[in-house]
Structures are given as structure tokens and as C-alpha cells.
């Protein structure tokens, strides 16, 4: 419960991102999932070659969410619960210093998905 409250400001950012993407998230196993092939999410994600982005408990995707991608994004939700409002500055700092592929937060989320699906 504390993690939910701690990540709430990021979840509100996610709800705003979803609205700018002309969609509204629906509940799914403790997450809020929004899919949009238009609006801000579509432009932001597809231009960078990404399928989805997570803010707090909100996962916004421009592509269908596969179980593996959902596991990856769900792990980011757990990271938000630990880091709270510090997640975004830490993530962006690591992204700027190391790039996407070497970002420890991305590597951890990818390792979580790989353990679950790449056997």
C-alpha cells in the first residue's frame, strides 16, 4: 500500500499522458493499461522505436502488449514503488549517461521479463 501511495504522483503523470494520447486506462491485475495508436503516446513511442512506457501504475502502449512486454513494464511499476518521485530523475540521468540499453533500470526490467519468458 505504501508503494502505491509513494508512486501516486507518477501515476497521475501517466493518466495525463494517457489523456494526451486520446485514451483512458483500464484496470488489469493492479495496473492501468492504455493502448493508443494516436495522440502523444503514439508519436512519442513510435519515433523512438518503443512499444510502451510506464508512469507509476499506468502503462501506455502504442503496440499490442505481449505478456513479455507487460512483465517488463510491470517491473518498472515495482521500481516506481521503490523510488517514488525519484524514479524519473534517476531514470533520465542513467539514460543520459549510459543510454537506453545500458540503463540499469531497463536492464533489470528486461532481466525480469527474460527470466519469466526466455527459457
Evaluate whether 37 touches 61 at the Cβ level (below 8 Å). Answer: no
H or E element that contains 7: none
Evaluate whether 90 touches 76 at the Cβ level (below 8 Å). Answer: no
Q: Which domain holds residue 59?
A: 2-117
Number of domains in the chain: 1
Task: Flag whether pLDDT at 5 surpasses 90.
Answer: no
Cβ count near 46 (within 10 Å): 13
Nearest CA to 23 out of 49, 60, 51 is that of 60
Task: Flag whether pLDDT at 119 surpasses 80.
Answer: no
**Average pLDDT, integer, range 59-74:** 95
What's the pTM? 0.92
Amino acid at each position: 500500500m505504501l508503494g502505491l501511495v509513494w508512486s501516486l504522483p507518477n501515476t497521475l503523470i501517466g493518466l495525463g499522458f494517457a489523456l494526451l494520447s486520446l485514451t483512458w486506462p483500464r484496470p488489469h491485475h493492479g495496473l492501468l493499461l492504455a493502448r493508443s495508436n494516436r495522440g502523444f503516446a503514439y508519436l512519442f513511442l513510435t519515433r523512438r522505436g518503443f512499444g510502451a512506457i510506464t508512469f507509476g501504475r499506468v502503462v501506455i502502449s502504442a503496440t499490442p502488449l505481449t505478456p513479455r512486454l507487460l512483465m517488463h513494464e510491470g517491473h518498472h511499476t515495482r521500481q516506481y514503488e521503490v523510488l517514488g518521485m525519484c524514479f524519473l530523475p534517476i531514470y533520465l540521468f542513467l539514460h543520459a549517461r549510459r543510454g537506453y540499453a545500458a540503463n540499469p533500470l531497463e536492464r533489470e526490467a528486461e532481466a525480469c521479463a527474460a527470466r519469466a519468458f526466455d527459457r
